[in-house]
Structure 1
Amino acid sequence: MYVITNRIDVPADTAEAFEKVFVESMRSTLDGVPGLNRTTLLRPAADGLPYVSTMEFDSKEDFLAWLRSDSFKKSHSDDQAPGMQAPSAVEQHTLIEDIVFEK
């Protein structure tokens, strides 16, 4: 699995609008992306911390294909949307181990 994280510094006064627009974009542009299994948006638990968005792809190749896709272009087309001007840091990781505990 290939995991992408994006740490997004969103000012507190635009956080509510950012969440709404970001989640709406996730729902409208990511359904059916080949190799994409899961995406999340995590709200920071304390002031001063960034939001974190994750995407879990089957492979790096699936991620790179998404970067060239209409889905990517559409999800990043509104540069005036809340949070689009916020500083962010994209990180790429290969999953080594995934442990699921039964409850």
Structure 2
Amino acid sequence: MYLAMNRFTVPVENAEGFEQLWLSRDSKLHEMPGFRDFHMLRGPEEDGHVLYASHTVWDSEETFRDWTRSEQFRSAHARAGSGTRLHAGAPKFEGFTAIQHIAAE
């Protein structure tokens, strides 16, 4: 299992627009082999900013890398560079490979 995460720092006045952008987009993730799960998480508000984290769960790092090279990825991110920038700075990417998994029974 591979987890790909992006963290976003969003000025509080842009939080609603940032959430609407994510809630209204067509991610195309469901079309990709190896895709398992997606979550967009809202974190704490501090110093006038809200922390957000998106994460996808994949069968492997390779299936995630395939996504980043796909037409679906380009289509899902086509609006990313246009319009008003809602977050501060660049998103921070973090990738993790599972070394242990414990599930509810």
Same-fold status (TM-score > 0.5) = yes
Which runs of at least 4 in structure 1 moved beyond 4 Å after TM superposition? none
Paired amino acid for 2:9:
D
The residue number in structure 2 matching 1:90 is: 93
The 8 Å contact of residues 4 and 93 in structure 2, kept in 1 or not, is answered as yes
In the aligned structure 2, how far is the partner of 1:28 from the partner of 1:2? 18
The residue number in structure 1 matching 2:39 is: 40
Q: 1:60 Cα shift?
A: 1.0
Change (3 A) 1:43 1:71: same
Q: 1:85 Cα shift?
A: 6.6
33-42 vs 92-101, greater mean Cα deviation: 92-101
Gaps of 5+ in 1: none
The 8 Å contact of residues 36 and 57 in structure 1, kept in 2 or not, is answered as yes
Quote the RMSD (CA, aligned, Å): 2.0
35-44 vs 70-79, greater mean Cα deviation: 70-79
The 8 Å contact of residues 4 and 56 in structure 1, kept in 2 or not, is answered as yes
The residue number in structure 2 matching 1:12 is: 12
TM-score under structure 1 length normalisation: 0.84
In the aligned structure 2, how far is the partner of 1:70 from the partner of 1:90? 20
Aligned positions, number: 101
Output one character per residue of 1:14-54: Cα deviation in whole Å (capped at 9) or x when no partner.
Answer: 111111111222x4422222111001000013324520000
Gaps of 5+ in 2: none
Aligned residue runs from structure 1 range 1-103, under 5 A: 1-25=1-25, 27-47=26-46, 48-78=49-79, 79=81, 80=83, 83=86, 86-102=89-105
The 8 Å contact of residues 39 and 54 in structure 1, kept in 2 or not, is answered as yes
TM-score under structure 2 length normalisation: 0.82
Q: Percent identity?
A: 32
